[in-house]
Amino acid sequence: MFNPRNLFYAALVAAGGFAGGLAAAQFAPREALAAHRHTATVVSAERFDLVDRSGSRRASLQVTPTGMTDLIMFDGRGNDRAELRVARDGGSSLNFYDAAGNQRVLVGETRSGRNGLAIYSTAGRQLATLSAATDNQVSLTLYDPSSGRARTGLGVAQNGEPALVLFDEQGRDRLEVHVNHAGNPGIALADANGKSIAGLPIRETSTGSQP
C-alpha cells in the first residue's frame, strides 16, 4: 500500500533550515590567491572602512569577535543594504536588506554543503526557500507570510522521484502527491493528527509497480 511517510516531505520543509545564517560560495578563489601573490605591499588590520567624498562610510570590511569575515555595504543614508559573510567554520552568505534594515534575500552555502536561496517578507518572515543538498536532492518550500509556517513543498529526490506536499495553517502535512521510480503516481490525504484518511495504493511487484 502507498504510505505517505515514504515521501521525503520532511526534507522539503527542512530545506529552509539552511537559511539560518549561512550562504554563498566564494567567487574565483584561485584568482584572488594569485592577486595576493603578486601584491608588493600588504596592509593588515582588523577593520577597513571605505568612505565617499563627503566622508560618509559606504563599506566596511572586518573580522568579528566570532571569527567571521564580514563585508558590509551601505547606501547613501548609511543603511546596511548588503553583506558578504564567511564564518570560521566555512559557512558563507550573501545577504540583502531593505532601507528599514529587514533581511529580504539570502544566498548561501552551509558548512554541510547545502546551498540555496531564501526570500523574506517586509516583516522578516521567510516566504520561500530553494535549496539543494550535497546528494543533489532539490526542493522548493513556500511559507505562510503571517505565521512563517511551511504551506507547500515541491521537490525531487536523489533518485529522480518528484513530490508535492501541502500543509495546513498549523504546518501539518495534509496532502501528498508523488511519482515513484517506476513511473506510478501516488496520492495520500491525512487528518490533523497525521493519520492517513484516503489515498491511492501502489504495490511493488517483481516486474514493476501496479495499482
Q: What is the residue extent of each domain of the chain?
A: 4-26+45-210
Mean pLDDT by 10 residues, the chain (211 residues): 44 47 36 46 86 94 91 94 92 92 91 89 90 89 90 88 89 85 86 77 44 40
List phi, psi (to 5°) of 76.
-65, -15
pLDDT given for residue 201 in this prediction = 60
pLDDT given for residue 174 in this prediction = 85
pLDDT given for residue 117 in this prediction = 93
pLDDT given for residue 4 in this prediction = 44
> Closest by alpha carbon to 147, among 179, 131, 171, 120?
171
Listed as own residue / partner, the contacts of 93-96 with beta carbons closer than 8 Å and 24 or more positions apart are: 93/21, 93/22, 93/23, 93/24, 94/23, 94/24, 95/23
CATH number listed for the domain at residues 4-26+45-210: 3.90.930.1
pLDDT given for residue 128 in this prediction = 93
pLDDT given for residue 95 in this prediction = 94
Which residue intervals of the chain are DSSP H helices? 9-14, 29-37
Q: Are 104 and 92 in contact (CB under 8 A)?
A: no
All three cell numbers of 41, joined, read 605591499
Alpha-carbon torsion 18, 65, 27, 104, what sign? positive
pLDDT given for residue 92 in this prediction = 92
pLDDT given for residue 9 in this prediction = 47
Q: How far is CA 88 from CA 9, 68, 111, in A?
A: 32, 6, 10
> pTM higher than 0.75 for the full model?
no
All three cell numbers of 91, joined, read 559557512
Q: Are 133 and 116 in contact (CB under 8 A)?
A: no
DSSP string, 88-118: TTS-EEEEEE-TTS-EEEEEEE-TTS-EEEE
Cα angle for residues 51, 53, 54 (degrees, 5° grid): 90
pLDDT given for residue 40 in this prediction = 57
